[in-house]
Chain A
Amino acid sequence: MEEQPLLEVKHVTKRFPGVRALHRVSMHLNRGEVVAVIGENGAGKSTLMKILAGVQEHDEGEILVNGSPARIDSVQKALDLGISLIHQELNLSDNLDVGANIFLGREPMKFGLIDTRKIYAESRKFLDKVGLDCQASTIVGELPIGRQQLVEIAKALSVNARVLIMDEPTSSLSERETEYLFRVVKDLRDQGVSIVYISHRLGEVKELADRVVVLRDGDNAGDLGSDEISHDNMVSLMVGRDISEFYHHRDHRPGAPVLEVEDLIVPEWPMHKLSFKVHAGEIVGLAGLVGAGRTEMLKALFGVNHPLGGKVIINGEEVTPKNAREAMDAGMALVPENRKEEGLFLEMTVTENISLPGLEDNCKSGVFIDSDQERSVTDEMIRKLNIRTPGPDQELQYLSGGNQQKVVLGKWLSLEPGLLLLDEPTRGIDVGAKEEIYALIEDLAERGMAILFVSSEMEEILGLSDRAIVMHEGRITGGLSREQLSEETVMHLATGNIEAA
């Protein structure tokens, strides 16, 4: 049926100082369909959504609602046009009840006072639409997050939203709440509401979306119709190249075990003992849901989190480090999850950052900094890792996320560790830098380094690992060889099903 699209975005461009966020991006949305917008970090998804929701205005291009050009210059204007944004972090007042939240700012009045009875009656209609069975008088703060999200959707519907934009809606939801949300979304679609769905979780996209729009580096990278939506298609459009090339994977023959973990007890999960091995030249992916305890385990291996028991053995020698220095002396390196808070000194220069762990070993007469050595190590790392910086004395805060991450890598690689621990190594990094880092990891494994990396990106686990270890709530639920690796097998273990021995 050829009908006019409800919403059309035509060649929209948006610029920020130093960044080109969107460049002539176009998409359309029909009545009663779910369109997923996907892309890597920095692709422009949030910018596009903010423009549609009235939070920001575009610089060039036009937006058409029901065929007529619209200027969405405020959030109120967007709401008037029927466009509602459901944020990742919910916008509810959790000290007020459900009804009050739904009618916040437009409360019906009677004799100068708020007409609570009307609020509850009206709210009931919309709560039913989203299948929420709680009372309209329930305080929002007492509801679990999944239901709070449904309240927000009900609120959007109550202002006649015809377009719902949902930004990473499942990031804080449990499995069951996610399933419920999917049912609600499909119901709404069947009722004629259009939904723009933004998510990193390609499995969800596959299940929900009628169409997929892919953005890359601020441009349209391609669209996928309902029969074209597959993991591989999505990823290759997102990264712009053949995925097998993207991950640079080569088969390795692992050598002797570099890391042996025996019955390690991580303080956050004292009831579980962890045991596994990582061999030289092996890339092991550590998979699991957020909160599975992977970061805590890496920190326990590195000595910054003190294990309650167990042994960490490096190259046959029991090490079990009590602090970072001991771990470093044993040949370990940790690239932490949160590079701004744990890995970098933003106001110090590239040189100062890269040289820091090695200062003591390279100093003159035990005390003085060897500036020549410092400079040559930095130059080497800038070259090897292709770090884009005006110079080695540039303050780190002026570098892009990808280059900052390369500096973190560079600082550890200069110590030539035998075991490299990476926690979310490509978080917040653009596609180009991501590929460079994958190539680097491959290269290091080829030369014999043992690599253990944590990632919440399924594609990364699937693409990069020789082997995967999966954790769930502090426990290792199983291991998967490369042949066994797939989204289903990983999710199966990540959600707590233990592998049959």
Chain B
Amino acid sequence: MKRIQGILGLLVAICVFTAIYNPLFLNETNLYNVIRWTALYGIISIGVAFVIITGGIDLSVGSVVGLTGCLLAMFLKVSFVETDEAYTVTEVDKTRRVLTVDKTISHLPDQDALLLQDPRTNQPRQMSIVRGRFDGLQVAQVSVRESVSWIEPGSRAIWKRKQHMNIFVAVTLVILISIVIGLIHGLLITKIKLQPFVVTLCGLLFYRGITRVLAGDKNVGFGPFHEGLKYLAKGKPFSVPVPFIQYISKGNWSSTAGDLEGDAVPLDFLGWINIPMPMLIMIGLAIISGIFLNKTIYGRYLLALGRNEKAAQYSGINTDRMVIVAYVICAALSGLGGILFVLDLNSVQPATHGNFYELYAIAAAVLGGCSLRGGEGSILGVVIGAAVMRALRNSINLVKIPTQLEFAIIGIVILAGVAIDEIVKTLVAKHRASRQAREMAAEAEET
């Protein structure tokens, strides 16, 4: 618990400094974004923390994020299937892009499509349906996304059904693939006795290559579809009130702000910050992970084997099994992270999606108190570490430091954070040793 005070202080310092320098930091949208990215990176950082606690490392996190993200997008690719429902267009509203047809539309459009013959090119043309009945239109009307200027009343329209893999199946499949990846890592490390660095480095390269082959090296994404699933990444389940925040961010430390005409407009006392869905997911995962690590026997076994694998074996712990569990957790959380990242970004490049994410995750874990030697780590620390990374990035943008310096600054901050930690530890140990010496000398004087 005492270990996180340092990193928490660092986070507060970065936030306070940035807020003072550029009050836009406290803007609701900005804070929402920082929180959202903290959550997304936090999830994969928690995964990596488990592996680091066992004394290993996982360099493939970013590539797994890329692979799972692109796989999900590919699995959930939407295709349209022609049905045998034919309609005849009776009216065309060119401004509102609404078509009226001859029969009642029997089902919700739900992003389906209509197929019409384009007389200009004599080719079939697909119109994406945006809204239909129940959405303020008549029972025989649909509104479409594209321009309808070329459609003549009397044209024949065929309904095309939207089709894709069952969302539940797709997500489960992707998570399963991540778990298998974790299993492979764990088995190679425990049974074939390969080094984690080597195994996961090869993983990094291999999964990236596979991603590019499978996805064909062009952007993948969800387009306008799957809004429901996207809620996991983009949803705003509730908001948190924060007093005074608008005074700082919009009013420049006063209670009024100038509007477009220059008149002073009073600001609300309470600012509302939306809490993004990924943050709820991350908080849930963090709580479960924290309980697992600190309160269950398996967590204790992981910490013990990270400290001293031999002694753990000699104490009857099945160290192979625990190490495999750690790598499976890491890969599964990377997979989950991959799913959420792609839902958030909506369009990603297979060649680069997830690049370097493992470094951010490892940095967050290390800042949060995980020693790369293994055997120690705090989930809360990791979460704060992830927040520090994102706040720092945001700060660099807002403070208008050129992006070229971004990596340099992040590198220095991490180094400083870890160095100060070590120095404090050494000083505490020295202080304790000299205190012991004084006690022993006092004891000796008495005898």
Residues of A within 8 A of B (CB): 15-20, 23, 302, 304, 323-325, 327-328, 334, 336, 341-348, 352, 356-357, 359-360, 363, 367-369, 398, 411
Contact = CB atoms under 8 A, between A and B. Distances in A.
Interface stretch (B118-126, B203-211, B290-298): B290-298
Contacts of A359: 297, 300-301
Interface in B304-328: 304, 307-308, 310-318
B358 interface: no
Contacts of A360: 297
A343 B433 contact: no
Q: Is the interface of B mostly helix, strand, loop or mixed?
A: helix
A334 B313 CA distance: 12
Contact of B307 (A17, A343, A347): A347
B447 to A, nearest CB: 9
17 contacts: A15-B437, A17-B434, A17-B436, A17-B437, A18-B433, A18-B436, A20-B441, A20-B444, A324-B313, A345-B304, A345-B375, A347-B307, A348-B303, A348-B307, A356-B317, A359-B300, A368-B296
Contacts of B310: 341-342
Interface in B424-440: 432-434, 436-437, 440
A346 B303 CA distance: 12
Contact of B432 (A16, A367, A398): A398
Interface string B62-93: 00000000000000000000000000000000
Nearest to A411: B315
Contacts of A336: 314
Given A345-B311, A356-B300, 4 more contacts: A18-B437, A18-B440, A325-B318, A342-B310
A343 B308 CA distance: 9
Interface in B115-143: none
B300 A369 contact: yes
Contacts of B311: 341-345
A324 B432 contact: no
B316 A325 contact: yes
Interface residues of B, number: 29
A327 B315 CA distance: 10
A43 B295 CA distance: 43
A398 B296 CA distance: 26
B304 A348 contact: yes
Contacts of A327: 316
A212 B297 CA distance: 54
A360 B310 CA distance: 18
Contacts, number: 85
A421 to B, nearest CB: 11
Given A17-B433, A17-B437, A336-B314, A345 B296 contact: no
Contact of A304 (B297, B314, B432, B441): B314
Contacts of A357: 315-316
Given A345-B311, A356-B315, A411-B315, A369 B444 contact: no
Nearest to B434: A17
B314 A342 contact: yes
Interface string B253-291: 000000000000000000000000000000000000000
Nearest to B310: A342
B436 to A, nearest CB: 4
A240 B298 CA distance: 47
A122 B276 CA distance: 85
Which of B301, B375, B440 has the most chain A CB atoms closer than 10 A to its own CB?
Answer: B440
Tell me the dominant secondary structure on chain A's binding face: mixed
Interface in B401-421: none
A324 B314 contact: yes
Contacts of A18: 433, 436-437, 440
A123 to B, nearest CB: 46
B344 interface: no
Contact of A328 (B307, B316, B375, B444): B316
B112 interface: no
Contacts of A341: 308, 310-311
A343 B297 CA distance: 19
A19 B314 contact: no
B107 to A, nearest CB: 48
A360 B321 CA distance: 15
B376 interface: yes
A357 to B, nearest CB: 5
Closest 4 CB pairs of A and B: A17-B437, A325-B316, A18-B436, A324-B316
Contacts of B434: 17
Contacts of B307: 345-348
A272 to B, nearest CB: 24
Given A368-B296, A369-B296, A20 B440 contact: yes
B310 to A, nearest CB: 5
Nearest to A363: B297
Contacts of B297: 359-360, 363, 367-369
A19 B440 contact: yes
A17 B435 CA distance: 9
A405 to B, nearest CB: 14
B443 to A, nearest CB: 9
A321 B317 CA distance: 14
Contacts of B296: 363, 367-369
A295 to B, nearest CB: 12
Given A18-B437, A347-B376, A367 B298 contact: yes
A336 B314 CA distance: 8
A371 to B, nearest CB: 8
A363 B376 CA distance: 22
A242 B114 CA distance: 104
Given A328-B316, A369-B300, A344 B440 contact: no
Given A341-B308, A352-B300, A334 B295 contact: no
A369 B316 CA distance: 16
A356 B303 CA distance: 11
Contacts of B316: 323-325, 327-328, 357
B79 to A, nearest CB: 45
A65 B297 CA distance: 63
Contacts of A17: 433-434, 436-437
A365 B301 CA distance: 17
A357 B316 CA distance: 6
Contacts of B318: 323, 325
A368 B440 contact: no
A498 to B, nearest CB: 33
B432 A345 contact: no
A344 B437 CA distance: 24
Contacts of B313: 304, 323-324
Nearest to A356: B315
B313 to A, nearest CB: 6
A416 to B, nearest CB: 15
A342 B318 CA distance: 15
A100 B311 CA distance: 45
A394 to B, nearest CB: 11
Contact of A344 (B300, B308, B432): B308
Contacts of A334: 314
Q: Which of A16, A18, A20, A304 has the most CB of B within 10 A?
A: A18
Residue among B297, B303, B304, B315 having the largest count of chain A Cβ atoms under 10 Å: B315
A369 B315 CA distance: 16
A368 B294 CA distance: 9
Given A347-B376, A359-B300, A369 B308 contact: no
A342 B311 CA distance: 4
B322 to A, nearest CB: 12
